A and B are shown apart, each in its own frame.
Chain A
Amino acid sequence: MKFKAMATVAALVLAAPMGAMADPDDDTLVLNDETTMVTKTAAPAHLEGALDTIMSGWHFRSDETQVMQADDFDNPGMVFVENALAAWETADGSEGKSCASCHGAVETMAGVKATYPKWNEDAGKVYTLQNQVNACRTERMGAKAWGYDKQPAIEMEALLSSYSRGMPVNVAIDGPARATWEKGKELYYTRTGQLEMSCANCHEDNYGNMIRADHLSQGQINGFPTYRLKNAKLNGVQSRFKGCVRDTRAETYSPGSEEFIALELYVMSRGNGLSVEGPSVRN
């Protein structure tokens, strides 16, 4: 009987008018008229059986939102990058040092964002970019750690990301990071809350479909931090995770928690091969 029911539904889905679908588009993102971004590409090997093609969330947004991201002058996220550039050069903490004191020009950070989250040998755990920035602040500058996904932290992440734009996401999932990655994968497929939905239910099984007025993307994070028109600010990856988990009527985890660090590593690895886009523009 179950079989019969399933067959009926399958036939229905096939018969649904194509007009009801809202597939990702085939536009090309060229940044500042110079850098052609990889926004669609073959999925990394570890996604075999799950996805063939990975796509940036950019493809699921309206043309108006898409063009805002194509030019730094139109991208509202770039204001925050400017703020962080000032912070980069401003001394803070008991050692009287700034980021620039140790690292020089921010250009030296090109490529860094593409490899985070990443195993940190000294700490003996996986660090997100914000964890690493805070380690520099507390251990080298004698400054206070920034709150997770709070304004200064998210602006600095956006600055660092902006210098990796166009480079392929390339996080390591083997070696010592493996156990954390496995944990993140488990979280990704766990159906949480009263609605019993996992990340995969929406972003793997239903991307391209509409859930009410929302066009479901693959939930990729190559574009983070993201400037959202909806709340007119920069949004961190883990705050976004929190919102999505909350929407399953579940008890969420907090930004900065072990669980979300693991989930960030896993979700970032699903985008291995897409260009770093942050700060991107979404709705």
Chain B
Amino acid sequence: MKFTTLTVTAIWAAGAAFAGVVEPGDVVFTEDGAVEASLTGKPGNAERGAEVYGSKKLGNCVACHQITSQDVAFPGNVGPVLDGAADRWSEAELRGILTNSKMTFEGTIMPAYYKVDGFVRPGKAYTGKAADDTFAPLLNPEQIEDVVAFLMTLKEE
């Protein structure tokens, strides 16, 4: 099911990737919330992705997730343990979860990392002030691809 329902739009997205970076508004999701095409048109770097994953200033994924092999002080447990994530999800699905997790998990608390509109009272980072023209997605396309590459290394089987 997962791989047979490749839709026309997904094929279009794969083609668009040649043009380079996909803007947040142009990301194409499959009906299951996956994103087939790399947001940069290129594969990510797993090592850099691990940094984005753990950095409080960047992904801050550790606020909610734990990975057994990672030695991080105080990982949170609001989200599931990510050991073996790559056994459970394809690369496209992981990219979808990162881009906008709500397309995969309806109503989830996990933030959308590559989205710029549809927010209620968006702020200027953590200042409490209104967003201004510096407003950007939580992660840039390279960082998303790096984290996807990192998550793809989380295999147990």
Q: Does A213 contact B (CB under 8 A)?
A: yes
Across the interface, which residues of A come within 8 angstroms of B31, CB to CB? 1
The 8 A CB mask of A216-230 against B (1 = contact, 0 = none) is 100000000000000
Q: For the complex, is B80 an interface residue (Cβ under 8 Å from A)?
A: yes
- Given A20-B66, A205-B109, A213-B74, does the pair A194, B128 have CB atoms closer than 8 Å? no
Supposing A1-B32, A195-B111, A201-B109 touch, asked if A9 and B80 sit within 8 A by C-beta, the answer is yes
The residues in B between 126 and 155 inclusive whose CB is less than 8 angstroms from any CB of A are: 126-131, 135, 138
Given contacts A5-B32, A16-B81, is CB(A251)–CB(B105) below 8 Å?
Answer: no
- In Å, the complex CA distance between A202 and B77 comes to 12
Contact with A along B80-124 (1 / 0, CB 8 A): 110000001000000000000010111001011000000111111
Give the residues in chain B near A12, CB-CB below 8 Å.
80-81
CB distance from A188 to the nearest CB of B (A): 13
Q: Tell me whether A2 and B106 are in contact (CB under 8 A).
A: yes
Known A209-B76, A246-B126, A251-B121; contact A196-B104, beta-carbon cutoff 8 A: no
Interface centre among B33, B73, B75, B76 (most CB of A within 10 A): B76
What is the CB-to-nearest-CB distance from B29 to chain A, in angstroms, rounded to a whole number? 12
Query: Is the beta-carbon distance between A197 and B76 smaller than 8 angstroms?
Result: no
Contact A211 B126 (CB under 8 A): no
Distance in angstroms between the alpha carbons of A220 and B33 in the assembled complex:
36
Output the least CB separation between A240 and chain B (Å).
13
* Contact A193 B120, CB 8 Å, known A1-B2, A251-B129, A251-B130: yes
Query: A280 CB to closest chain B CB, in angstroms?
Result: 24
User: Is A46 interfacial (CB 8 A cutoff)?
Assistant: no
State the majority secondary structure of interface residues on B.
loop
- Is A13 part of the contact surface with B, judged by Cβ < 8 Å? yes
Q: Which residue of A lies closest to B122 (CB)?
A: A194
Name the one of B74, B81, B130 contacting A210, with C-beta atoms under 8 angstroms.
B74
Least CB distance, B153 to chain A, in whole angstroms:
19
Residue B62 CB within 8 A of the other chain: yes
Interface size on B, residues (CB 8 A): 43
Q: Which residues of B contact A196 (CB under 8 A)?
A: 102, 111-112, 119-120
Contact of A193 among B64, B77, B122 (CB under 8 A): B122
Whether, in the assembled complex, B125 has its beta carbon less than 8 Å from a beta carbon of chain A, the answer is yes
Contacts of B130 in A (CB 8 A): 251
Q: Which residues of B contact A112 (CB under 8 A)?
A: none
A105 within 8 A of B: no
How far, in whole Å, are A195 and B76 apart by their CA atoms in the complex?
16
For the complex of A and B, 3 pairs with smallest distance between CB atoms? A246-B128, A213-B74, A1-B32
Interface residues of A (CB under 8 A from B): 1-2, 5-6, 8-9, 12-13, 16, 20-22, 190-197, 201-202, 205-206, 209-213, 216, 242, 245-252
Supply 9 further A-B pairs (C-beta < 8 A) apart from A5-B32, A6-B105, A209-B78: A1-B5, A2-B106, A12-B80, A193-B123, A194-B119, A196-B102, A196-B111, A197-B111, A213-B73
Q: What residues make up the interface of B, taking CB atoms closer than 8 Å to A?
A: 1-2, 5, 31-33, 56, 60, 62-64, 66, 73-78, 80-81, 88, 102, 104-106, 109, 111-112, 119-131, 135, 138
